[in-house]
Amino acid sequence: MTPAPPTQTIVDRLVSKSGAVDAEAAIRQQARGLIEQYRAAFADAEMPVDMEVLASLRGITKSDLPPVHSDDAELTPDGAGGVEYRVNPDRPETRQRFSVAHEIAHTFFPGYQTKTWCRTDAKYRRRDNPNEFVEMLCDIGASELLMPLQWFATDILAVATAEQLLALARTYHASREAVLRRFAEAHPRAVAAVFFSWKLKPVEYGTVGRLDQLNLLGLNPEEEACQAKKLRIDYTIPSGPFQHAGHFFPEDKSVANDGPLYTAATTGRGCAGEWDLDLGPAAGRYRIIAIPVWTAAGEYGPKGENAVAAILEPVTLSRQKKKARQDTHPPLF
């Protein structure tokens, strides 16, 4: 078998072959081309997109074997000059679909048949690491395949409530997190998908809940740390207009225990409405569509509250905006 070329080389070849301005534009171009093939083959195609059919259009076969090198999925040579994908059947359906779409996106790169490609799970990908950059590009490609712009861009314009946002996820058989990311990415207005979790302020780690210290309330260290948690920003996916307007949400900024965000966290149900949020340089009034998201054991709020994801759209801002910053931790799509 021919050795696999260096990772940066395959990225450069993809850009050169596509004629796109950069790698992200190239992967989107390839994914949208595959969707056009899908539409041509199925004139009456409806959502959700059939991932097995997309894989077959790329000449990929499905293996009954579980992935060996990944907890989710992998694309591997089949020994006959082609490739096959393996997916973990114990993962939720929405995760399996994203994983298959991710592996399909690997076939957009030259030389994909020469090695096994494994889907790795991470909240952030580093652009300066070629391997992580390829994984991020495949996440972008997967989003394009799962939620094609031809349908999705129209559907998001009708979403104004939490129920409609959740219905969108059901329509595309995609996770809530993936739908919110794509929603913000594709929206024509200044909106952002913001992901919140219950955590301490960065400076509190190592000082709150220490085993060698007592507190005035008589709480044990674990309980003290839990009680100190607040709902804080993990990361933000901005729309193009949101970025262009110079809006910026500080990472780890906390929000008060009130309004639609807190209601979604405490009730486990979606909530929407206008509310004032103190978000540092972007403090002001927002239209909010908030939904609870999966929360790992030990990561709940002080009263068992869930993590939350939300679409935020500024109505009026009360503070001077700062110049938009480039996120040093590119989030997944």
pLDDT at 324: 47
Residue-wise pLDDT for 116-143, tens only, equals 998 877 655 666 677 789 999 999 999 9
290 belongs to a structural domain: yes
| Pair (45, 164) in one structural domain | no
- The DSSP annotation for 274-316 comes to EEEE--GGG-EEEEEEEEEE---TT-S-TTSPPEEEEEEEEEE
Tell how far CA 54 is from the center of its chain. Answer: 21
Distance of alpha carbon 83 from alpha carbon 72, whole angstroms: 17
| Pair (289, 196) in one structural domain | yes
| Structural tokens at position 224 | 């003290």
What phi, psi does 331 have (nearest 5°)?
-75, 165
Collect the ranges in the chain with pLDDT lower than 70. Answer: 1-4, 122-128, 206, 208-220, 319-333
326 belongs to a structural domain: no
| Pair (167, 257) in one structural domain | yes
| Pair (177, 200) in one structural domain | yes
Classify strands 60-62 and 83-87 as parallel, antiparallel or unpaired: parallel
Distance of alpha carbon 188 from alpha carbon 217, whole angstroms: 50
Distance of alpha carbon 99 from alpha carbon 109, whole angstroms: 17
| Pair (84, 167) in one structural domain | no
322 belongs to a structural domain: no
Distance of alpha carbon 205 from alpha carbon 128, whole angstroms: 28
Domain boundary, last residue among 86, 121, 146: 146
- With contact defined as beta carbons under 8 Å apart, do 135 and 155 qualify? no
Task: Compute and round to an integer the Cα radius of gyration of the chain.
Answer: 21
Domain assignment of residue 301, given as a range: 150-317
DSSP class of 205: T
pLDDT at 287: 98
pLDDT at 217: 52
pLDDT at 4: 67
Query: Any idea what the CATH number is for the domain that residue 78 is in?
Result: 1.10.10.2910
| Pair (103, 48) in one structural domain | yes
pLDDT at 214: 53
Distance of alpha carbon 237 from alpha carbon 243, whole angstroms: 10
> How much of the chain is helix, strand and coil, in % rounded to 5?
40, 20, 40
| Pair (30, 168) in one structural domain | no
Number of domains in the chain: 2
| Pair (139, 184) in one structural domain | no
Distance of alpha carbon 280 from alpha carbon 248, whole angstroms: 9
The pTM for the full model equals 0.88
Q: Which amino acid is at 161?
A: T
| Pair (100, 130) in one structural domain | yes
The Cα angle at residue 68 between residues 115 and 78, in degrees rounded to 5? 45
